[in-house]
Structure 1
């Protein structure tokens, strides 16, 4: 019997040879299969959202370990961390004024560690920060998210400003990883700890997306009505799906690299 690693490499080679449309179809089928599996093994689908936030926190812990052990922030995007801190701060505010629960505590811990990472990059390890590679203009995502939040937001009974903030953090979270992907696109080589962090973000985004999709299926669509009327319920699902697909390609090459025994992830052109 062939070793599992050789079989995985053969499957990976076959996938790489397929045209883009076939790859997209395979990605959709794989995602649907994973959703079915989660629906079977996870009884309370609310736990998926908690798991998503926990995995995100673990990813931040990986960054902290990298910064403390290697004393370098090379390969990390300060702009992505700024965007992450921004949407977490807004979401934390919304949690306090709208629904104080376990998510509030998780967001608080994740925000605290993210602010620590930002402090290390800006001050302690500034000499190793690759500012020339971190060249994504964040106003390209912040301004559209703000405008979109003003136009499409929840129709709940909460104050208008709170509803706009809620929508803003949902939209911003969906695209907050883009500066980090730009850094990796510019360098083409991703060292292990950064790769682990981005993969954790991908897993967190998938779990969050699975939470919403399965909740809609479990409620037979009634959840969409509970979220309000108009375009907002659809935008929540679209935002979750966008987050997942933004990181899907990277996660594929990460898994391929891990099973191939490579410590450093080398990305081909056009991946991110």
Structure 2
């Protein structure tokens, strides 16, 4: 008698055999279905944004556990942490001068823990830092984000510098994880705590994206008008979608590995 085959494994094999365009289409359909479900089960869609920031904080706590208990920073990108600290610091400044709410406090806590992670990697655990693998040039993302912020930013009544800073942190957040993905691509093997952290970021990015999309739908497009005119409203949504899709492929392999009982994730070439 042949043993019963795992339906999850069968579905995973079928998905893996599909061409890239089919995979992309299925990812879009799955994302849209998830948005529909969230729209009906989450009554206050602002909670999605709070949940996204909370998940980011949880991801940082996972890193803190890794750094304090295992005393190693192998597999972590210092450059991603530095980009995260930059956009959080800029967003925190914008929150103080433009609006002060619960998000300001969450950003302050996340920035403090991110700075601690940077300190540990740079000084306390420097011997285990894979500097040769963390070879993504930061000017590839900082310079384009700065130029884009100068060209496309909010058209609100705030000071010009504040509006440019606001746009800069939105654009930089969307691509801040790229150095971490480069490290994982270079190593091909992702240990559990790093994988948990990146997966938490992926889910946080999706919830943040869902928050903006559902807010636009609920307001019947009026939210886009409230954000200003020109290209800026569209760029906010595009940035949210970009940062979601950047991590989508990794999240797929993470879920596949967890369901398969694997503690270490092995990434095929070209995944991230």
- Map 1:3-82 → 2, pairs under 5 A: 6-82=6-82
| TM-score between the two structures when normalised by the length of structure 2 | 0.98
Residues 114-149 of structure 1 deviation map (CA, whole Å, 9 limit, x = unaligned): 000000000000000000000000100000000000
Q: CA deviation at 1:188?
A: 0.1
Q: 2:247 & 2:134 partners in 1: Cα distance?
A: 18
Q: 1:140 & 1:180 partners in 2: Cα distance?
A: 14
- Map 1:1-272 → 2, pairs under 5 A: 6-272=6-272
| TM-score between the two structures when normalised by the length of structure 1 | 0.98
Runs of 4+ in 1 over 4 A off after TM superposition: none
Q: 2:256 & 2:5 partners in 1: Cα distance?
A: 10
Q: CA deviation at 1:5?
A: 8.9
Q: Indicate how the Cα distance of structure 1 residues 5 and 108 shifts in structure 2: closer, same or farther if over 3 A, else same.
A: farther
Q: Indicate how the Cα distance of structure 1 residues 130 and 182 shifts in structure 2: closer, same or farther if over 3 A, else same.
A: same
Deviates more, 1:5-14 or 1:20-29: 5-14
Q: 2:5 & 2:28 partners in 1: Cα distance?
A: 24
Please report the RMSD computed on the Cα atoms of aligned residues, expressed in angstroms. Answer: 1.3
Q: CA deviation at 1:83?
A: 0.1
Q: 1:68 & 1:4 partners in 2: Cα distance?
A: 43
Q: Indicate how the Cα distance of structure 1 residues 4 and 105 shifts in structure 2: closer, same or farther if over 3 A, else same.
A: farther
Q: 3-state SS of the aligned residue for 1:154?
A: coil
Q: 1:48 & 1:122 partners in 2: Cα distance?
A: 33
Q: CA contact under 8 A between 1:63 and 1:193: conserved in structure 2?
A: yes
Q: Indicate how the Cα distance of structure 1 residues 4 and 212 shifts in structure 2: closer, same or farther if over 3 A, else same.
A: farther
Residues 81-128 of structure 1 deviation map (CA, whole Å, 9 limit, x = unaligned): 000000000000000000100000000000000000000000000000
Q: 3-state SS of the aligned residue for 1:43?
A: coil
Q: CA deviation at 1:193?
A: 0.1
Q: 3-state SS of the aligned residue for 1:158?
A: coil
Q: CA deviation at 1:7?
A: 1.3
Q: 3-state SS of the aligned residue for 2:6?
A: helix
Q: 2:6 & 2:181 partners in 1: Cα distance?
A: 29
Q: CA deviation at 1:21?
A: 1.1
Q: 2:4 & 2:198 partners in 1: Cα distance?
A: 25
Q: CA deviation at 1:241?
A: 0.2
Q: CA contact under 8 A between 1:80 and 1:178: conserved in structure 2?
A: yes
Q: 1:141 & 1:269 partners in 2: Cα distance?
A: 23
